[in-house]
Amino acid sequence: MTSRRSFLGAAGGLFAAAGTSIGAHAASKQAVAGTEAFFGPHQAGIVTPQQSHCYLAAFDLTTEKRDDVINLLVAWTDAANRLSEGRTALPLGTDLQVPAPDAADVMGLPPARLTVTFGFGPGLFIKDGKDRYGLATARPPELADLPRFNGDQLIAAKTGGDLCIQACADDPQVAFHAVRELARLSYDSAELRWAQTGFTSNPPDGSTPRNLMGFKDGTQRPADIEKSVWVGADGPAWMRGGSYMVVRRIRMALEHWDRTKVSFQEETMGRHKYSGAPLGLKGEFEPLGLDRTDKDENPVIAENAHVRLGNAAENGSADMLRRGYSYNDGANFVAERWPPWRQGMEYDAGLLFICFQADPRTAFVKLFGKMAKFDMLNQFTTHTGSGLFACPCGIQSGEYIGQRLFEKT
Ligand code: HEM
């Protein structure tokens, strides 16, 4: 079989010679409008201003060989950088008698601010008690298996994964194309375990986008991104400047939600629906004012309101960057156990919750452990998918993603 390197050697240049390009920026190495740099101290797609579409895919490694994993990461790095620049995943050849190295379905489209973010799941380090790649001792304690949370109804086929790719772009086809091309490169060493599309519609006036429940989502951001999101000097070298990503596929009982009074929805969330302001206040960005009480001396924002339970000040400063997307997988008749009062046709739609943090044990696990027990929102939500991934630090040109992990272990 032709190795990837020899293939590149043979096909390199033909792409340019054929004059074929994907996007207007095809041959340019320069950062141009509409592109997000792939290389840098941090991986793109974490603090990058949120694009409107996401395609998230988790993979199981099928190979037993460490070198195969390294070769895959080398290939993924190169392709991800090319795709981010609006080029094909691999150079196109001129031989029409062979499968094309890139599906070309985004030919003519701009890069759409594509970012490709890679994550390593626990299974890369140890799986079923087996240290497949000699990495078991390098598994960071932060990458501990997520506990079972109250109310979890996780579907195995939408949970976990040894590797993860989060592709975000302002065009849904560009995001899907990126994962599809990277998945092709993995055929000999990994297989797709699950995938999820997501979308968010940014209002043209720059205001906070709304989730499918009609509430502004993304108002609160960590006070200190550096400290809350990025792994610092106390982490292993390959994670310094990296972050831990938690993904939850959260189905919403929209039919039920739509029949509840707005005032009840606001009580549940702890914010006003239309303005996004904390309950009883006017401005979206006013502090929550959690100490405020009403005339009966009850808290204005209830003890079990979503924003109170999630607030950093109420949780020993636990903070995270949320970067979720809505999802819509159509409607189905599958009689999932929730919600129990309606087993007929329902939307399979909700939130592809994605968050980034320096330590999930003191951020997501801590916050959601409490939310899962007490949050009023729980009566409208079911967590059906889950994943925790270590997203290594960013890299420079010439390095491959995760290189510092493999070199040191
Ligand atoms: C379908 C599920 C969910 C919905 C609809 C939802 C919706 C919201 C909304 C509307 C806000 C207020 C606006 C904002 O600050 O962005 C918010 C805040 C927040 N949510 Fe969620 N959320 C969901 C799940 C979760 C989960 C699983 C977590 C995990 C810990 C979480 C953590 C937070 C945090 C930390 C805040 C900010 C609290 C603060 O103001 O300090 N959310 N969410």
pLDDT in tens, 368-394: 999 999 999 999 999 999 999 999 999
Q: Is the peptide bond before 91 cis (omega within 30 degrees of 0)?
A: no
Residue nearest to atom 9 of ligand 1 (CA): 217
Q: Give how far Cα 368 sits from Cα of 233, 254, 340, 362, 371, Å.
A: 26, 21, 23, 10, 5
Residue nearest to atom 6 of ligand 1 (CA): 217
Sign for the pseudo-dihedral over CA of 188, 143, 399, 323: positive
Contacts of 175 (CB under 8 A, 6+ apart): 51, 53, 54, 55, 112, 114, 167, 168, 169, 197
Taking each helix axis from N to C terminus, what angle separates 66-84 and 172-185, rounded to the nearest 10 degrees? 150
Residue position matching structure tokens 């009480």: 293
For ligand 1, the distance from its centroid to the CA atom of residue 133, given in whole angstroms, is 37
Distance CA 337, CA 343 (A): 8
Which amino acid would we find at residue 298?
A: N
Contacts of 379 (CB under 8 A, 6+ apart): 253, 256
Ligand 1 atom at minimum distance from 252 CA = 1
Distance CA 242, CA 201 (A): 27
Q: Using 70 as the pLDDT threshold, list the residues of the chain that sit under it.
A: 1-33, 333-345
Residue-wise pLDDT tens digits, 184-228: 999 999 999 999 999 999 999 999 999 999 999 999 999 999 999
Backbone angles phi, psi at 55, to 5 degrees: -130, 115
Segments in 162-305 forming alpha helices (H): 172-185, 225-229, 254-257, 262-269
Ligand 1 shell residues, CB under 6 Å = 211, 213, 215-220, 248, 250, 252, 269, 271, 288, 306-307, 310-312, 322, 350-351, 353, 364, 367-368, 371, 381
E strand or H helix that includes residue 243: strand 243-252
- Burial of 96 from C-beta contacts in 10 A (0-12 / 13-18 / 19+): exposed
E strand or H helix that includes residue 328: strand 325-332
Question: Which of 213, 279, 306 to probe ligand 1 with, by most ligand atoms within 8 A of CB?
Answer: 306
- Residue 20 has what pLDDT? 36
Residue nearest to atom 42 of ligand 1 (CA): 310
Ligand 1 atom at minimum distance from 270 CA = 12
- Residue 338 has what pLDDT? 55
CA-nearest of 369, 370, 328, 372 to 350 is 328
CA-nearest of 318, 332, 102, 118 to 228 is 318
Cβ-based neighbour number of residue 184 at 10 Å = 16
- Residue 255 has what pLDDT? 87
For ligand 1, the distance from its centroid to the CA atom of residue 353, given in whole angstroms, is 9
Question: Which of 196, 212, 215, 217 to probe ligand 1 with, by most ligand atoms within 8 A of CB?
Answer: 217
Distance CA 268, CA 264 (A): 6
Global pTM reads: 0.91
- Residue 7 has what pLDDT? 32
Ligand 1 atom at minimum distance from 380 CA = 1
| Residue 186 CA, distance from chain mean position | 20
For ligand 1, the distance from its centroid to the CA atom of residue 120, given in whole angstroms, is 25
- Give bridge partners of residue 169 from the DSSP assignment: 53
Residue nearest to atom 26 of ligand 1 (CA): 368
104 token code pair: 């070309």
3-state secondary structure 85-121: CCCCCCCCCCCCCCCCCCCCCCCCCCCCCCEEEEEEC
For ligand 1, the distance from its centroid to the CA atom of residue 310, given in whole angstroms, is 7
Distance CA 325, CA 51 (A): 10
359 token code pair: 């330590």
